């Protein structure tokens, strides 16, 4: 396993520099440690899609229908961030056109999906640039370990 050391750390064990880098990939303590769905009011490079952190039962019927029919969400996968396979495996542009339309209807756009839902996990190393590249490098990732 070629993952960097930071990948196995709890948020509190990350260095300040690693935490800032993780913020650059739209992680915060709760979603890094996978403890709950509370949004972070702090800085991210793209706006936090606050609606994504609203429990399923509190969503309108229209939003639930769009999430279910367009992106395959059910109560369990909506309420457990990172449990819908699309979140881990697909960049926004890897979604089919119907899924992209549903994501946009919910309020996502390419950068918010890739940052807050996928956390850039589906990017290839050569797809990183600017702050995102600095962030993954600060967390200890290399071209070899990222594309592994």
* pLDDT for 44: 57
Closest CA to 60 of 17, 107, 27, 13: 107
Per-residue pLDDT of the chain (148 residues; tens, 9 = 90+): 678 888 888 888 899 999 999 888 888 887 787 654 444 455 456 667 778 889 999 999 999 999 999 999 999 999 988 888 888 778 888 999 999 999 999 988 888 888 888 888 888 898 887 778 888 899 999 999 988 7
Overall pTM surpassing 0.95 (yes/no)? no
Residues in the chain, total:
148
* pLDDT for 46: 65
75 token code pair:
């109560």
């Amino acid at each position: 396993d070629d993952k960097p050391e930071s990948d196995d750390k709890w948020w509190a064990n990350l260095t300040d520099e690693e935490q800032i880098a993780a913020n650059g990939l739209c992680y915060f303590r709760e979603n890094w440690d996978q403890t709950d769905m509370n949004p972070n009011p702090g800085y991210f490079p793209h706006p936090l899609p606050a609606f994504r952190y609203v429990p399923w039962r509190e969503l309108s019927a229209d939003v639930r229908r769009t999430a279910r029919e367009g992106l395959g969400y059910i109560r369990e996968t909506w309420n457990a961030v990172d449990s819908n396979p699309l979140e881990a495996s697909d960049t926004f542009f890897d979604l089919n056109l119907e899924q992209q339309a549903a994501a946009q209807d919910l309020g996502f756009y390419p950068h918010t999906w890739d940052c807050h839902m996928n956390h850039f996990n589906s990017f290839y190393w050569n797809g990183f640039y600017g702050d995102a590249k600095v962030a993954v490098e600060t967390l200890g990732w290399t071209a070899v370990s990222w594309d592994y």
